[in-house]
Amino acid sequence: MTSTSGKPRKAILIVHGVGAQAPGESSEKLLHGLGLVPGTRTSALQTPDGAAPVDAEVAGIPVRLYEVHWADLLQGEITRGTFSAREFQAYAWFPWLNRKRRVNPPGKYAMATTLIWTLLLPPLSLALALPYYGARLLVSAFDRDFREKLRQEGRESARGNFWQIARSRADSAAFQRTWLEDTIDEYVGDVFNYVNSAGNARYPDGREIDVPHEVQAAYPKIAERFHTRLIQAAAECAEIQVLAHSLGTVVSYHGLFGLKRGDSGAQNPAGLDAARKKVTHFYTIGSPLEKIGFFWPKLTNPQVPAGGITLQWENFVSWFDPVAGVLKNFDQWGVVGNQRLLGGGFVTGHVVYERHPKFLKRLVSGLGGGEVEIDRTPWQKFRNWALLLGETLLAPVALLLITVAGAAIWLAVVVMLPWLVSLLFRPEFMPQLDPVIFDRASVGLGVLMTLVFLINSRVGASRIHRAAWLADSAGADEVQSTSRRSPGE
């Protein structure tokens, strides 16, 4: 457990976030950041591969990096199409349903807080649909693979009558996937696939696609990888510190403290308990834990805290990070130190932590390296400010453009349908019809489309929440079996 210098070696357990993370990528990012710390040396001349630990010396402290790589378990073809827009819209109603069905611990969230978010989230979910429509329109125009698939399907469907061909081509244009859908599955889909798997949630009837068993069973495998690395680090190092990013903070939270449903995930419970007691610091960067607790409270309320754990928890939140949030309801193991920092804009604000001076100083201090000054060249400072200002200015413009494009599609449907119908009633032999009627019909159609969207999401929310997040294992099975029976049975 000691290094060649005779000092006790300390472990840093690194847990990555969502997306197609390559093995060793998270370790390499941290090493690049630590390269700004004076006196940092690493024995790994090659790129870390994620499998073997990496030895380094940080401010005179011997450190060994262990990476918990889990991206491959929620990646590739098995997750294709697993993100469900219907479920995403339904989650807007979850805070209200959590309160109504008393899923949250008493007093955790004020009634006013729940009510405000219930009024805001459903319209917001509708608003988020507009930039998706716009982005898909723009991507479709420039995606060669998408256009080629449409042409190929057009040639294959060039049989039958006019209406069959028209319907086939319309369906192809509406449902043909682009790289936008693949990206959503890879990043946003990771969150919902993980929390559904971790919560042992049933996937209710009515999804657009069946969820593969590998995705449903991903959580125990992810937990096992975390525990295996934790036990390995405990055997080789005197002290363990955990650094987790994004969804990896939820993975680490579950790995350290367990879940309410009593998960273990470890084949060596005694070794796991001993390893947990060696954890002294927990660093969360870009963490969505507070949001996870708000929507899925059963994932952030362990029934019994892991015994013997005493650690210092520091949570870093970039001002422009849309994913991260201040942790207010995680004081079961002491007060969480929330650290605000300014770095990156709306695009890179979620991925700048490992090289930010404030984070690096706190990490080095936690390792026992004392106060250090972070070396940054004038060019690095200029680049960071340029990114901050550029993204702050350009990201809203880009969002506005795709939102306008999506809104144009929405308005085209609202305006064009009544106008097309009105053409049948506007010959000269029916001049008495007031065109204002059709203008009002357009407004009525727009209101109706909005109401259908909100009502559909509310109905889906109640069904999904009851079947997947309210009932226990036996109850969920019964809910699903009952939903499959006909009314006369």
Kindly report, residue by residue over 123-179, the tens digit of the pLDDT: 888 888 888 878 877 777 776 776 666 666 655 555 666 666 666 666 666 666 777
Q: Residues near 200 by Cβ (< 8 Å), separated by ≥ 6?
A: 219, 261, 473
Can you give the pLDDT at residue 425?
A: 65
Can you give the pLDDT at residue 79?
A: 83
Query: What stretches of 47-122 adopt beta strand conformation (E)?
Result: 54-58, 61-68
Over residues 101-122, the pLDDT tens digits come to 888 877 788 889 999 999 999 8
Burial of 381 (0-12, 13-18, 19+ CB in 10 A): exposed
Helix-, strand-, coil-residue percentages of the chain, each rounded to 5: 55, 10, 35
- Looking at the chain, the whole-number percentage of residues with pLDDT higher than 90 is 20
Over residues 247-267, the pLDDT tens digits come to 999 999 998 887 644 454 456
Checking if the pLDDT of 243 tops 90, the result is yes
Query: What stretches of 227-355 adopt beta strand conformation (E)?
Result: 239-245, 279-285, 312-318, 337-341
pLDDT classification of 12: cutoffs 50, 70, 90: very high
Can you give the pLDDT at residue 88?
A: 84
Residue 42: which of 50, 53, 31, 51 has the closest Cα?
Answer: 31
Checking if the pLDDT of 482 tops 50, the result is no
pLDDT classification of 231: cutoffs 50, 70, 90: very high
Question: Which of 25-34, 170-179, 239-248 tops mean pLDDT?
Answer: 239-248
Can you give the pLDDT at residue 154?
A: 58
- Looking at the chain, the whole-number percentage of residues with pLDDT higher than 70 is 75
CA angle 158, 162, 168 (to 5 degrees): 55
Checking if the pLDDT of 480 tops 60, the result is no
Spans of all domains in the chain: 10-73+216-377, 388-484
Checking if the pLDDT of 390 tops 60, the result is yes
Over residues 180-192, the pLDDT tens digits come to 777 888 888 888 8
Q: In DSSP terms, which residues pair with 242 in a beta bridge? A: 13, 282
The answer to whether domain 10-73+216-377 has CATH 3.30.70.100 is no
Checking if the pLDDT of 42 tops 50, the result is yes
User: What's the pTM value of the predicted model, to 2 decimals?
Assistant: 0.83
Over residues 62-74, the pLDDT tens digits come to 999 999 999 999 8
Can you give the pLDDT at residue 314?
A: 94
**What does the pLDDT average to over 443-449?**
81
Can you give the pLDDT at residue 37?
A: 83
Give residue 266's identity as a one-letter amino acid code. Answer: A
Over residues 292-301, the pLDDT tens digits come to 989 988 888 6
pLDDT classification of 202: cutoffs 50, 70, 90: low
Burial of 240 (0-12, 13-18, 19+ CB in 10 A): buried
**What does the pLDDT average to over 278-288?**
93
Over residues 71-96, the pLDDT tens digits come to 999 888 888 888 877 788 888 999 99
Can you give the pLDDT at residue 424?
A: 66
The overall average pLDDT reported for the chain is: 78
**Interatomic CA distance for residues 217 and 198, integer angstroms:** 9
Indicate the SS3 state at residue 232.
Answer: helix
**Interatomic CA distance for residues 20 and 342, integer angstroms:** 26
Over residues 325-363, the pLDDT tens digits come to 999 888 877 789 999 988 776 777 788 888 888 999 999
pLDDT classification of 22: cutoffs 50, 70, 90: confident
Q: What is the dihedral of CA 261, 267, 270, 272, to 10 degrees?
A: -70
Q: Pick the residue with more confidence: 391 or 316?
A: 316
**Is the distance from CB of 233 to CB of 16 less than 8 angstroms?**
no
Per-residue buried b or exposed e for 153-166, using 16+ beta carbons within 10 Å of the residue's own CB = beeebeeeeeeeee
